[in-house]
Amino acid sequence: MIALTLAEISAAAGGTLHLDGAAATPETVVTGAVTTDSREIGAGDVFVAKRGEFDDGHRFAPSAVERGASVLIVEHVLDLPVPQIVVADSIDALGALATEVVRRVRELGRLRIVGVTGSNGKTTTKNLLRAVLEKVGPTVAARASYNNEVGAPVTMLELAEDTEFLVAEMGASGVGEIARLIRMARPDVGIVLKVGLAHAGEFGGIEKTVQAKSEMVTDLHPGDVAVLNADDPRVVPMAGLTKARVVWFGLGDTAEVRATELRAHARGTDFTVTVPGGEQARVHFGVLGEHHVMNALAAVAASVELGVPLADVVAALEQVTLAERWRMQLMGGRDGITVINDAYNASPDSMSAALKTLAQVQEPGSRTIAVLGEMSELGEFSGEEHDRIGLLAVRLGISQLVVVGQAARRLHISAINEGSWDGESAYVETADEAFELVTAGARPGDTILVKSSNSAGLRLLGDRLGEWFA
């Protein structure tokens, strides 16, 4: 975090500073990181005691102090010998502090902000942008999927006085949440990747999802840029909701930043990218899955708008071979067996894309195995979407389907009812059972995909299979 006095932090957070028993004054300067996780605290850091659904961060304040926290942001005074800023709501205070830090760094005149949202691809696109922009200047981007009301402001608070780029991943589970993050850090470039059924159950339907994602562009200014997916009919109307200049990306002719001559293979996708003005370049993109080309195009569009030469953008993209751990992560290798661990999260769109990639990279004469778990948070769409994935697996000719867990069982039943298989779909209750089934039946040259929502826990099964076949 930028250097602030205790008095400044208290004012920004809207709190009351308490110094009883602390060896500090209101003018004491704090430069440490800000976190809600006491396990991450280091000397001089700021601990925010967050109340959660199942726990209360105030319980971990003593541990934070033991680890070196220099100040606590709390909702009531604790009997601890460090400065404490008492606020009405610690999450609101965290957001308010982030807003002030962004404002101060903005005033220095160097910072430019890219906001990324969409039902799929946020983390991959954010990582691609970081890979490009950190070659240009000091860049801050979220760790993992730090994209909610806690993770996004924590990322913003990593800004330093010399930061040139902030890549803010902005997720939501309801209307108004992205707007809240935009008020903390309004982007110069706002990206909307795709609107799909991911989290549709939480949003209350696809219309609410569209409304929520639209918040990325509705508050942009005329001098800003909205980078929109020209191939998504739910994103296209957002052009009419923004004052910003629109730049389209996609695979079709209407896109200004577009990919053509795609060739997918087991180590990524090669394609030709065209940008506004007609400049082209061939890209050897090492992130597995043709669907990730759209994320790369969004990163290209934003980077070029920020003034990065296309050749430099392509060079940076070609150095990226993994979007993120547990996202189309290649593992294994023994006996030519490849494990694709893509079980960090799953929606109907990403599940379909992963299965299509599995079919695309299959070598002649080899087999494909899809180990699939639940797609969570789909609400009323859950049954029909699991049915659709089961049918897709059959129609793609996946050699073996292993469905894990009761919540995904309908996927297995749909595959059987399609009538194209005779025993090639198996259902098991647990990841351990899936491990035993796959390892017992695997053959040299097999390609194994592991895919589910995070809540299903199959990412650890993917790791286990990857180590087994290493």
Pick the CATH number of 4-92 from 2.40.160.10, 3.40.1390.10, 3.90.226.10, 3.40.50.1100: 3.40.1390.10
Contact between residue 40 and residue 113 where contact means Cβ atoms under 8 Å apart: no
**CA 112 to chain CA centroid, nearest Å:** 20
**SS3 label, residue 31:** coil
Contacts of 318 (CB under 8 A, 6+ apart): 283, 284, 285, 286
Pairwise CA distance, residues 188 & 107, whole Å: 14
Spell out the domain ranges in the chain: 4-92, 108-317, 329-468
CA dist., res. 139 & res. 111, Å (int): 9
Q: Can you state the angle between helices 292-305 and 310-317, rounded to 10 degrees?
A: 140
Place of tokens 């189309």: 328
Q: 368-372 and 400-404: which strand pairing?
A: parallel
Q: Regarding the domain with residue range 329-468, which homologous superfamily does it belong to in the CATH classification?
A: Mur ligase, C-terminal domain (3.90.190.20)
Placement of tokens 């400049």 in the chain: 279
Q: How many other CB atoms sit within 10 Å of the CB of residue 237?
A: 12
Report the pLDDT value the prediction gives residue 380, as an integer from 0 to 100.
Answer: 83
For residue 326, the 8-state DSSP code is: T
| pLDDT for res 322 | 83
Residue 432 falls in which region: left (phi positive, over 0), alpha (psi -120 to 50) or beta = alpha
What 3-state class would DSSP assign to 296? helix
- Residues 279, 284, 287, 291, CA torsion sign: positive
Q: What is the pLDDT of residue 399?
A: 93
Is 123 assigned to a binding site?
yes
pLDDT for position 192? 98
pTM of the full structure: 0.87
**CA angle 66–98–95, rounded 5-degree value:** 90
Consult the annotation and say whether 10 binds a ligand: no
Which residues, 6+ apart, have CB-to-CB distance to 179 below 8 Å? 215, 218, 219
The candidate with the shortest Cα–Cα distance to 199, out of 213, 188, 185, 209, is 209
Measure the CA–CA gap between 297 and 117, rounded to whole angstroms: 14
Nearest 5°: the CA angle 166, 170, 176 is 130
DSSP-derived 3-state class of residue 373: coil
Backbone dihedral angles phi then psi of residue 427, each to the nearest 5 degrees: -120, 130
- Please report the pLDDT score of residue 454 as a whole number: 87
DSSP helix/strand/coil, 431: helix
What class does CATH assign to 108-317?
alpha beta
Interatomic CA distance for residues 378 and 36, integer angstroms:
29
CB-neighbour burial class of residue 3 (10 A; exposed 0-12, middle 13-18, buried 19+): exposed
What confidence score (pLDDT) does residue 203 get?
A: 59
Distance (Å, whole) CA 294 – CA 449: 21
Distance of alpha carbon 81 from alpha carbon 95, whole angstroms: 25
Helix-, strand-, coil-residue percentages of the chain, each rounded to 5: 40, 20, 40
What are the structure tokens assigned to 184, written together? Answer: 């903390």
Q: How far is it, in rounded angstroms, from Cα 288 to Cα 329?
A: 8
DSSP H helices, 361-401, are: 382-395
Element (DSSP H or E) covering residue 64? helix 61-66
Q: Tell me: is residue 31 an annotated ligand-binding position.
A: no
List the chain pLDDT tens, one digit each, 470 residues. 999 999 999 999 999 999 987 789 999 999 999 999 999 999 999 999 998 877 899 999 999 999 999 999 999 999 999 999 999 999 999 999 999 999 999 999 999 999 999 988 898 999 999 999 999 999 999 887 788 899 999 999 999 999 999 999 998 878 899 999 999 999 999 999 999 765 555 656 788 889 999 999 999 999 999 999 999 999 999 999 999 999 999 999 999 999 999 998 888 999 999 999 999 999 999 999 888 999 999 999 999 999 999 999 999 999 998 877 878 899 999 999 999 999 988 889 889 999 999 999 888 889 999 999 999 888 888 999 999 999 999 999 999 999 999 999 999 999 998 765 566 899 999 999 999 999 999 999 999 999 999 888 899 999 999 999 99
| Per-residue confidence (pLDDT) for residue 457, from 0 to 100 | 86
DSSP 8-class letter at 240: G
Round to whole Å and give the CA distance between 462 and 467.
Answer: 9
For residue 120, say whether it is annotated as part of any ligand binding site: yes
For residue 266, the model assigns a pLDDT of 82
Amino acid (1-letter code) at residue 271: F
Does the annotation list 119 as a binding residue?
Answer: yes
Mode of pairing for the β-strands spanning 46-48 and 425-428? unpaired
